[in-house]
Amino acid sequence: MKFKSKFHLGTLLMFISLFSFQGCKKNKGELGTGAKASLSVSPVVGNANTYALKGTAENAFRYQWDRGDGNLISKGLDDTVYFFTRGTYKVKFYAYGRGGFAVDSQSIVVPTDDQSVFPLNNPTFQLLVSKTWKFDPSPTAAAIIVGPDWNPGAYYGGGPLDPSQLDDEYTFSATSKTTFNLNYDAKANTFNGGNVNPNYNPGPPRSFNTPFTFSTTITPVGGAGIATFTLPAGTPPTIFFGVTDIPGNVCRILSITPTTLVVRAGNTLDPTFTFKLIAK
Amino acid sequence: MHMKFQIKATLLLLGMITCTSLLWAQSTVIGTVTGKVSGAPLEGATIKVKGTKIAATTNKAGTFSINVPANSNTLVVTYVGMADQEVPVTGANLSIVMEQKESALNEVVVVGYGTQRKSNITGSISTVKTKELVQTPVGDLSNALTGRVSGVITKQTNGEPGRDGAQIFIRGNATFGGGTMEPLYVVDGIVRNARDFSQLDANEVESINILKDAASAAIFGLKGANGVILVTTKRGKSGKITASYSFNYGFNKVTRLPDNLGSYEYGVLYNEAKLNDNPNATPEFSNERLQAFKNGTDPDRFPNTNWMDLVLGGTATRMQHNLSFNGGSDKVKYFTSLGYLDEKGLYPSLGYKRYNIRTNLDIQITSTTKFSADIAARLENRNAPPNSTSFIFEHTTRNPPTQPAIFSNGLLAQPGVYVNPLSAISDESGYNRISDNTLLTNFQIEQKIPWVQGLSVKGVLAFDRGFNYTKVWNTPVPLSVINPNNTFTTNPAGAPKLEKSFGEGKSTELQAHINYERRFKKHGVSAFVLFLQKESENSELNASRVGYTSTTLEILNAGPSLGQTIGDGEARFGLKSMAARVNYDFDNKYLIQVSLRQDQSENFAPDKRTGYFPALSLGWVVTKEGFMQNISQVNFFKFKGSIGQLGSDRIPSRFGYYNRFDLVTNNYYFGGISQNGLTPGASANSNLTWEVSTKTDLGLEARLWNGLFGIDFTYFKERRSDILTTRGLAVPLTFGGALPQENIGIVENKGIELTLTHDKRLTKNLSYYLKGNFTMAKNKIIEAAEAANVPAGSKITGRPNNGYYGYQAIGIFRDQKDYDNSPKTSAFSNSTGPGDIKYADLSGPNGVPDGVIDQFDITYLGGGPLPEVTYAFNGGIIYKNFEFNFLFQGATGVQQLLIQNSAWAFYNGGRVTGEWLDRWTPDNSNAPLPRLSLASDRNNNLTSSFWVEDASFLRLRNVEIAYTLTSSILNKIGANQVRIYANGQNLATFTKIKNVDPENSNASGWYYPQQMTFNFGISVQF
């Protein structure tokens, strides 16, 4: 009887073990420990607006940097970042490992724009890029005059501007140490010059962004002036300053203050266009 | 007083007579049971009065005592290791001598169109009996053969109810191209199709004999090259009617599901893969998103979907009933069986039901005339989703876990760009209903010729009829997306479509047999002549319409005619054959069998239709020799050998002897209207003929130590020639067609089979048995007419049939130095790097390694998905009324090439499986798997040995635990025997291959997996 009950128990155990055979599952592989990342920032002495970034990481084999512009760059544990313009920048350090990635970030406050090199350190350039410029709307301002360099109002001594000219805006800016941009915002219309039909009437807006160069050397065009800005060659009427039939791509800055800007286009041999602008 | 005395005396006398007659009514019989060879008494032998529940067992002295009712006159004596014996009650004291089990060699085995004594068989035949068949809880009978006998290689490639049959290869694969290795199925002497075999109810089968060599299969000539599976159904036995009822109920679940990574792990690896492809990329999954996957707090937006588990993770029930009646008189015997099988799928829209009905009737019309009528019918109803299994599992394996399947409000989700497999399997999506109705009849009349002893003639008529009906109603299911404001948008679904098809077939077979069998003292002679003619035809009609605007009427009339299709097909087949077989034995010691079959197959040109298939086999029963008589340890020993030629006319296209044109639909424009047209097809080859299989067998059979051990060993060799293939030659375009197929292929296939058996009774109540079988079959293509410019590595000639070809992976580029110093694939030079798979530079255009990995480095990678070696061992323990049986089965020398989502991570944006956690990264350069990538077409995904997995396995194929109730309990319910059992199928699998079942044959893993079955049942005999 005892044997019998043991046998029954054995049978039962055999049932259970057989039908639970499939219950044994293999351990799954492990993902691994997640990466850890930390970031330290220090200014680079002697290099304006430049900072040294140092990342430290654990359980990682790949690193990326976000230098404050949202773009990721694959690099090692060390990086440097330069900010041209002042502002607050959030730099990030990404460390990737077999168990995932980690990010550390730090904000860098850049107190000033980088004005350590020409033309950023030139007072004329600094005034030029500091404002948005518009034609002087005063009826007596003679905002646009035309004539030879020695008698700049000889051909056209000025007069009231068309409304489509009065709302035009010119903004100079520096996007880096070496790249400068002129933005022309025509608003609703651009006033056609003599090179666009219908002549001397408002036409469709010709707003644009264009690079320009800045120089304090007037020699190539001669005449009066304290500096020049040069637009891409052969550009009118696509790219211009003041009027669509501007006679050349080199514009002389005759004078500039925080509120006024006088620009003359054209060299000493040609008829020149002189524009009087005020800060917006 | 005197009168009183007389009355008393009379009463006493009557009483005595009554008592005496009562005593006679239940006489006691005593006796002794001894073994024939040893002469020793046998303890524990069971003696049962035939047709009753009265039983006794022998004691230590081998004696017994049993009460035999007056109306019974036969005892049935059984003893483990001995042949069962029926003993007439000829007196009150019996002396019963039990013959060893080897005398079971005297049992009759069914062979092609006849029977033979097992001991006299010279061919190679294996037998599976009903007990083993019903022990296996499977719906498809082909799976019940797995592991039971040597030489039968089965491969169950999926587990879908109603479609889960195993591919059967008898002794391996000996053909290539479009040829088939499907065996010939013969049920009670009539050739049937594979489904007529596989969908038999195991309860109606007496035995299955597998004819493997030329001698045993030669009588089937042109149809026998692939081996023959002979099924013998149960027949009635004279005596009291016996009713048997069996019921079993069980559960199915998937043998193994892939180890898919969850969303969190998937996201982490996805980021890594993305940055591997572009180091400056932004990680796809932010840490916040990854954390949300991990937390699982917002499953609608941050799901963690296990698609496999959703589709296949549950259990499905299965249920089987069988009721049979068996009985009759000397004149009429009958066996009737009613079977019902109900197998549910792992999703509700899938299921299979089968009804089997069979009546086998034997009528002894006169003392010399016997008539048999076998009528069997089968009704099959299969319900499935309207989408194909491949489609369902393509999306089940592909969808990543980060996509939702079903929102918390119950709406089915649109998982990105792929199909939601839950919609594809839902009842809402429609249905695919298949109904198959089959009637199989077999009428035989046998007449013994009274004036010639041993001579008989037989006529056979078999008429079969089948109908099938398929209706596919497909209604795409609307899927939803979650909006940023937590509302849901349900996108409209497409329009329903309907397909219907009807098919019917019929077949008529006529056979005439002449049988002669007689023994002249020591000379045994038998002869058999067969005339056979068969005709069959089938036809099909199908139609479809798309763009239904309503789901109200699921009929063709209700659909728009735009885009409708209609098609039909008809086919007729014929076969005319003659065969003869002669057997001779001298004193049952020297055996010879000669056979010849002539076939006429209408698959070939009229003057090429007739073929002759001869076979010769010899046997020598050594133990019949005088010099063996004193070797008591060897009870039976036989050498046997056979040689013969068989054929196979089952070729892909029947009319290769005609020039053919292919129908091109709607491709030719006349007057702006597209018209059907014809293009030239393959050229005619009027010399086309069948594959010729020349088979040689050498073997031995032995029974040792009074049946304690048994050995069957066979060496076999097959050379199959005239295999259809197309020459690897380029023909000028001006030829305007393709080259025809020719009988030029040759394959050689050889191997061994071994079966070992062991039976032992340990005590009166305890016995056990063990049985093992082993089959090794290796094949090689001898001739394939390959083009001369095929690179050596890609040639199939001289290599195993159906092998894998690709690049030889030799590891992973561990670092930049390894990468720089190794040959690389020219096609992916811009995207490879450390962490990618490194391939062997085996050759170049000039036959020597050239430092570049290209098509010249492609080579043979392995023999493919058919195992070279299969083995099994089964056994059982019987203790009193308990019984425990098991079957392990395994295979080796087998590979699977896995591709796409079953192997590669992120293939088409899809799932990643667990093994990828151990992938190459710079800090894990010795990893087994390459670096991750989101790109699907790249260096690592080339066909190479890297993805050829060893698919060897060992499987606990079957386990059964049973208890037979004692007679005291049975008396209360009026049953003769009640057996309660639990059994299981595919309970454990040991294999190296990951993610798929080792028997899977779909490289992408798009298959309904094999099932593990837990089953409980009862069988009652009244």
Q: Looking at this predicted complex, what is its ipTM?
A: 0.79
Residues facing residue B354 across a β-bridge: B341, B380
pLDDT, residue B38, reads 63
Give the residue, B451 or B101, on which the prediction is more confident.
B451
Which residues neighbour B96 within 8 Å (Cβ) at sequence distance 6 or greater?
Answer: B31, B32, B33, B34, B75, B77, B85, B87
In B652-690, which ranges are E strands? 661-670, 673-680
Q: Are B260 and B307 in contact (CB under 8 A)?
A: yes
Is the per-residue pLDDT at B888 higher than 90? yes
Q: Which of A3, A9, A17, A22 to mutate to test the interface with B (most CBs of B within 10 A)?
A: A22
pLDDT, residue A18, reads 46
- Over residues B561-587, mean pLDDT: 93
Report the C-alpha gap between B718 and B643 in whole angstroms. Answer: 10
CA distance A22 to chain B (A): 6
Tokens of B12: 């006493």
- Over residues B826-847, mean pLDDT: 89
Is the per-residue pLDDT at B19 higher than 90? no
B923, A98: Cβ pair inside 8 Å? yes
Which residues, numbered 24 to 43 in chain A, qualify as contacts with chain B under a Cβ-Cβ cut-off of 8 Å? Answer: 26, 28-32
A54-97 per-position pLDDT tens digit: 999 999 999 999 999 999 999 999 999 999 888 999 999 999 99
Tokens of B287: 């840490």
- Over residues B720-726, mean pLDDT: 93
Q: Report the candidate in B315, B350, B542 with the shortest Cα–Cα distance to residue B429.
A: B350
Report residue B13's pLDDT band, with 50, 70 and 90 as the boundaries.
very low
What is the CA angle B552-B553-B557, rounded to 5?
A: 150
- Residue A74 at interface with chain B, using a CB cutoff of 8 Å: yes
A62, B1014: Cβ pair inside 8 Å? no
Residues facing residue B467 across a β-bridge: B437, B504
Report the C-alpha gap between A65 and B847 in whole angstroms. Answer: 49
- Over residues B929-956, mean pLDDT: 93
Q: Are B249 and B230 in contact (CB under 8 A)?
A: no
Give the residue, B975 or B237, on which the prediction is more confident.
B237
DSSP B790: S
Residue with token string 């479009």: B178
Q: Are B905 and B277 in contact (CB under 8 A)?
A: no
Q: Are B936 and B899 in contact (CB under 8 A)?
A: no
Residues from chain A contacting residue B290 (CB–CB below 8 Å): 100
Is the per-residue pLDDT at B37 higher than 70? no
Tokens of B689: 């003929």
B430-439, B670-679, B860-869, B898-907: segment of lowest average pLDDT? B670-679
Q: How far is CA B416 from CA B248, B277, B293, B499, B909, in A?
A: 44, 22, 17, 29, 10
What is the CA angle B863-B868-B870, rounded to 5?
A: 145
Report the C-alpha gap between B214 and B645 in whole angstroms. Answer: 6
Q: Report the candidate in B740, B618, B636 with the shortest Cα–Cα distance to residue B688.
A: B740
pLDDT, residue B54, reads 82
Could you tell me whether strands B46-49 and B74-78 are parallel, antiparallel, or unpaired per DSSP bridges? Answer: antiparallel
- Furthest-apart CA pair in chain B: how many Å? 133
B191-246 per-position pLDDT tens digit: 999 999 999 999 999 999 999 999 999 999 999 999 999 999 999 988 888 899 99
Which residues, numbered 864 to 923 in chain B, qualify as contacts with chain A under a Cβ-Cβ cut-off of 8 Å? Answer: 879, 882, 884, 914-915, 917-918, 921-923
Residues from chain B contacting residue A64 (CB–CB below 8 Å): 275, 279-280
Q: Residue A37 corresponds to which amino acid? A: A
- Over residues B509-524, mean pLDDT: 94
Which residues neighbour B2 within 8 Å (Cβ) at sequence distance 6 or greater?
Answer: none
Report the C-alpha gap between B31 and B193 in whole angstroms. Answer: 51
B43-52 per-position pLDDT tens digit: 888 888 877 7
pLDDT, residue A202, reads 95
pLDDT, residue B83, reads 75
Tell me if residue B713 falls in helix, strand or coil: strand
- Mean pLDDT rounded to a whole number for chain B: 90
B70-89 per-position pLDDT tens digit: 777 788 888 876 778 888 88
Residues facing residue B599 across a β-bridge: B577, B611
Residue in A11, A29, A61 nearest the CB of B922:
A61
Report residue B25's pLDDT band, with 50, 70 and 90 as the boundaries.
low
pLDDT, residue A60, reads 95
Report residue B24's pLDDT band, with 50, 70 and 90 as the boundaries.
very low
Residues facing residue A250 across a β-bridge: A230
Mean pLDDT, contiguous 10-residue spans, chain A (280 residues) = 41 46 44 92 92 96 94 94 92 95 96 87 94 94 93 91 96 90 96 91 95 90 91 88 92 96 89 95
Q: Are B549 and B493 in contact (CB under 8 A)?
A: no
Report the C-alpha gap between B127 and A272 in whole angstroms. Answer: 113
Report the C-alpha gap between B749 and B213 in whole angstroms. Answer: 13
pTM (two decimals): 0.82
Tokens of B144: 């019940």
On the question of a cis peptide bond just before residue A119, with omega within 30 degrees of 0, the verdict is: yes
Report the C-alpha gap between B802 and B762 in whole angstroms. Answer: 48
pLDDT, residue A29, reads 54
Q: How far is CA B591 from CA B104, B428, B527, B586, B994, in A?
A: 18, 66, 14, 7, 51
Say how many Å lie between the first and final Cα of chain B, rounded: 56
Is the per-residue pLDDT at B760 higher than 80? yes
Which residues neighbour A219 within 8 Å (Cβ) at sequence distance 6 or greater?
Answer: none
Is the per-residue pLDDT at B830 higher than 90? no
Task: Evaluate the CA torsion angle B668, B673, B676, B678 in order and state its sign.
Answer: negative
Give B991: exposed, middle or buried? Use CB within 10 Å, 0-12, 13-18, 19+.
Answer: buried
- Over residues B913-926, mean pLDDT: 93
Report the C-alpha gap between B674 and A17 in whole angstroms. Answer: 68
Q: A254-262 long-range CB contacts below 8 Å, 24 or more apart? A: A254/A224, A254/A225, A254/A226, A255/A226, A256/A124, A256/A127, A256/A128, A256/A226, A257/A127, A258/A127, A258/A130, A258/A131, A259/A131, A260/A136, A261/A127, A261/A128, A261/A131, A261/A133
DSSP letters spanning B802-828: T-EEEB-EEEE--SHHHHHTS-EEGGG
Residue in A18, A61, A97 nearest the CB of B984:
A18
A96, B271: Cβ pair inside 8 Å? yes
A204-213, B511-520, B999-1008: segment of lowest average pLDDT? B999-1008
Q: Where are the alpha helices (DSSP H) in chain A?
A: 2-19, 123-130, 163-166
- Over residues B162-179, mean pLDDT: 91
CA distance A16 to chain B (A): 11
In B416-482, which ranges are E strands? 430-448, 455-474, 479-482
Residue in A15, A31, A74 nearest the CB of B280:
A74
Task: Evaluate the CA torsion angle B799, B800, B801, B807 in order and state its sign.
Answer: negative
Q: Report the candidate in A188, A185, A195, A183 with the shortest Cα–Cα distance to residue A162.
A: A188
Report the C-alpha gap between A263 and A252 in whole angstroms. Answer: 5
- Residue A23 at interface with chain B, using a CB cutoff of 8 Å: no
Q: Are A161 and A142 in contact (CB under 8 A)?
A: no
pLDDT, residue B1, reads 41
Q: Report the candidate in B754, B945, B780 with the shortest Cα–Cα distance to residue B149.
A: B754
Is the per-residue pLDDT at B40 higher than 80? no
Report the C-alpha gap between B357 and B377 in whole angstroms. Answer: 5
Q: Where are the alpha helices (DSSP H) in B26-76?
A: none
- Residue B265 at interface with chain A, using a CB cutoff of 8 Å: yes
Q: Are B1005 and B901 in contact (CB under 8 A)?
A: yes
pLDDT, residue B16, reads 39
Residue in A21, A71, A101 nearest the CB of B987:
A21
A99, B268: Cβ pair inside 8 Å? yes
